[in-house]
Amino acid sequence: MKNAGISRLGYALLGLLTKPASGYDLRKIFSTTAMMTYSDSPGAIYPGLRRLQQQGFIRGSIENGAGLRRRQVFRLTARGAAELRAWITRPVTQDEVIRGLDGVMLRFAFSEKAAGRQASIGLLKSLQAELTSYLPALHEQRTAGMAMAAMPTSGSLALESGIRSYETLLRWTKDALAVYAREPRRKKGKAS
């Protein structure tokens, strides 16, 4: 029941549908823009869209433009937009940090459009906190592994790579927060 029963691909579709699009459009986005790591296969997209529609998160309407082929354009419903916002504004969990940050980055990429500046900032802070609390454990693993000397060079190098990537990400969260702090903000907001 977690996540309202939506897969990562489902959320990716939901996030992209802040602009109305057809299944084919979405496939093109997944196949051409390198930003997207998701499958462009029709066997994933079309069933995914149908599920989202059955759950009431999106609504499709058949377009009958002159001479054009049948083409179904989907858009978010109010429920869908709310679910998207809820997903984005959830705090980052340690599990997400460990099991892969793709989901978090996806949330962040959509955050501004779907939930606003404050949501983006909140996500960054949440991610920063989780990274800060997780990194020491990794460092410990490294020193422990070196002490045992049971790990071959490639094993400890792989661990080193993981640590570096977390550190790079942590630095990125700081820079990203700085970007938001620098940017003018409309409406009254708390100062960073």
Binding residues vs a second copy (CB under 8 A): 33-35, 37, 98-100, 102, 105, 108-113, 117, 120, 137-138, 141, 152-155, 157-162, 164-165, 168-169, 171-172, 176, 179-180, 183
Q: Measured from the CB of residue 36, what is the shortest distance to DNA in angstroms?
A: 12
Q: State which residue, 29 or 109, has the beta carbon closest to DNA.
A: 29
**Do 120 and 183 contact (CB within 8 A), yes or no?**
no
111 vs 95: CA distance, rounded Å: 20
Q: State which residue, 72 or 169, has the beta carbon closest to a second copy.
A: 169
12 vs 40: CA distance, rounded Å: 12
Q: In 3D, which of 98, 171, 175, 162 has the Cα closest to residue 134? A: 98
Residue 158 contacts which entry, DNA, a second copy, none (Cβ below 5-8 A, type-dependent): a second copy
Q: State which residue, 91 or 100, has the beta carbon closest to a second copy.
A: 100
Q: Measured from the CB of residue 110, what is the shortest distance to a second copy in angstroms?
A: 7
109 vs 11: CA distance, rounded Å: 12
Q: State which residue, 87 or 108, has the beta carbon closest to a second copy.
A: 108
Look up residue 33 and give its two tokens. 């823009």
Site residues for DNA per CB under 7 A: 2, 5-10, 22-25, 27, 39, 41-44, 46-51, 67-72
Q: How far apart are the first and last CA of the chain?
A: 36
Q: Measured from the CB of residue 53, what is the shortest distance to DNA in angstroms?
A: 10
- The most distant pair of C-alpha atoms in the chain lies apart, rounded to whole Å, by 72
